[in-house]
Chain A
């Protein structure tokens, strides 16, 4: 589905650039680029201006609705003092630990379910019961069982993000064309080579989709978990703690960091992985 959407997008953008090029042939390449940068910054300028106006008019108390300068100042101060990076690093480490757990367990169970009927019959009912419950609903239970702090939050993030990974790996392995498996077997591939060279590459687009969904899920849950689990460092905790002291500027600075990490995960981790593997093997068109 993503591939078709991406395809149309690319096509339509081509059409758009073709039209603009027709209209303004005298415009140079450089000013064209400047123009497109300005076009993507412009909305933020508008929103920022509206924010400033609301903050300055004092409709809301200044403590609760700080100006952008105040947010920027506390962002810079907290970064220089090393507080913000420390929080961010702890959060990312927790994310990676939980996600690695989910990836290993999820792909293993999913592939097993796809390959063996018996494993499918055993795991599918358990997974289908666990999946529709929102992950955070488990949080208090995990806190009681594993205590406040790192262990609970990492386990919960892993547990929650394992579900999309299991489902997608399972679907992916089942979607490998029967003919590929048969022809590889007819050409004398043993089980190990069958798995390594046919099933794994065939299922990889699905597995990557699952990992991507899992990471997004983990990221969304982690922030809330950090608030509930009272971990000593972490962006969720930073935001939640700042509320008690009405440090709205610190909260907004934390939210900015969260947004930046989220964007970076999407742009630099997953799009890269996808380009590197599935697109190169020709499993989906970029």
Chain B
């Protein structure tokens, strides 16, 4: 299945399919069947993208969005991680927070945007809180199940070998729960990334990639919309692949908790 000839053929086919899709789009855009304002050609999109990169506005928008997403994401780790661990270690904490968490989890974060806009106004605070709300629950849930799923034999063995509470926590529980915790971070970031774009659209401030897209709609700047879509996609992809991929390699894979991706 994995002989080089087959792989090369897949690569060619993949490239071909992208090329065909691009040509089909270009043909549709040039056919004049749709208004060019709604369906800009690929060169037009590229030109807008490069122009906004060259004068730095795209970087400023991306920086605002990243600031909001990282702030909210960091908050969700600061709150979610300890809470998840406490819930898993202490029955009392669990029986208090579990019903609350299960009741709040199915509320989509966007439902809170209008409310938060009334309470906290338009701008950074609302956006960061929405991101925080979206990202905290996967963090809590995964940490909680991770700590619970630590093999009890490891705990007993470490206890028998004389580990005190602190060392048990740092040397056994945290590494044991780490695959779940990292999955939690991944999910949390994904949610945060979705939430930030939506929150920026609805609670429009004046900077941010989500706001650019929404603002461009008012002026029919479809090329600007597609250009920021590309930037959003690239940033999301980079985080997923490189940041979390290398985090995984540096921790769980090195500790031998999970083997490198199969196949």
Residues of A within 8 A of B (CB): 4-5, 8-9, 12, 16, 39-44, 46-47, 60, 64-65, 117-118, 120-126, 129, 132-141, 143-145, 219-224, 227-228, 235-236, 239-240, 242-243, 246, 248, 251-252, 254-255, 258-259, 261-263, 265-266
CB distance from B106 to the nearest CB of A (A): 3
Does B153 have its Cβ within 8 Å of any Cβ on chain A? no
Q: Counting chain B CB atoms within 10 Å of each CB, which of A5, A60, A132, A144 scores highest?
A: A132
The residues of A that contact B21 with a CB separation of less than 8 Å are 126
Chain A residues within 8 Å of B111, by CB: 223, 235-236, 239, 254-255, 258
CA distance A121 to B19 in the complex (A): 13
- Quick check: is B100 within 8 A (CB to CB) of the other chain? yes
Which residue, B99, B110, B112, has most C-beta atoms of chain A within 10 A? Answer: B110
Are B17 and A251 touching (Cβ within 8 A)?
Answer: no
Residue contact B114 to A243, C-beta cutoff 8 Å: yes
Known contacts A126-B21, A136-B194; is-contact A219 B217 (Cβ 8 Å)? no
Q: Out of A135, A255, A266, which one reaches B115, CB within 8 Å?
A: A255
Give 7 closest A-B pairs by Cβ, nearest first: A262-B106, A121-B13, A224-B110, A140-B217, A134-B194, A132-B236, A243-B114
Contact for B10 among A121, A143, A243, CB less than 8 A: A121
Q: In the complex, what residues of A have CB within 8 A of residue B13's CB?
A: 118, 121-122
User: How many Å lie between the Cα of A141 and that of B117 in the bound state?
Assistant: 24
Which residues in A have their C-beta under 8 angstroms from that of B210? 136-137
Residue of A nearest to B263 (CB): A174
Is the pair A227, B113 in contact by a Cβ cutoff of 8 Å?
Answer: yes
| B113 touching A125, Cβ below 8 Å | no
Q: A43-B97, A125-B15 are in contact. List 18 more A-B contacts (CB 8 A).
A: A5-B148, A5-B149, A40-B95, A46-B96, A64-B118, A132-B236, A136-B110, A136-B210, A137-B210, A137-B229, A139-B201, A140-B225, A143-B217, A144-B225, A220-B194, A221-B110, A239-B114, A262-B108
**Contact A132 to B237, CB < 8 A, known contacts A42-B96, A125-B18, A137-B232:** yes
- Report the minimum CB–CB distance from A162 to chain B (whole Å): 15
B interface residues with partner A (beta carbon < 8 Å):
6, 9-10, 13-15, 17-18, 21, 38, 91, 95-97, 99-100, 102-115, 117-119, 145, 148-149, 193-194, 197-198, 201-202, 209-210, 213-214, 216-217, 220, 222, 225-226, 228-229, 232-233, 236-237, 240
Contact partners of B228 in chain A: CB under 8 A:
137
C-alpha spacing A5/B18, complex, angstroms: 40
| Contact assessment for B149 and A4 in the assembled complex, using a CB-CB cutoff below 8 Å | yes
Q: Does the CB pair B103–A132 fall under 8 Å?
A: no
Residues of B within 8 A of A42 (CB): 96
Query: When chains A and B are docked, how far (Å) is the Cα of A265 from the Cα of B106?
Result: 9
CA distance A20 to B151 in the complex (A): 23
Which residue of chain B has its CB nearest to the CB of A36?
A: B95
B residues less than 8 Å from A219 (CB atoms): 106, 108
Contact status B197-A134, CB under 8 Å: yes
Say yes or no: A141 contacts B226, CB within 8 Å: yes
The residue in B91, B107, B201 that gathers the most chain A C-beta atoms within 10 A of its C-beta is B107
In contact, A224 and B232 (Cβ under 8 angstroms): no
* Chain B residues in 8 Å Cβ range of A120: 10
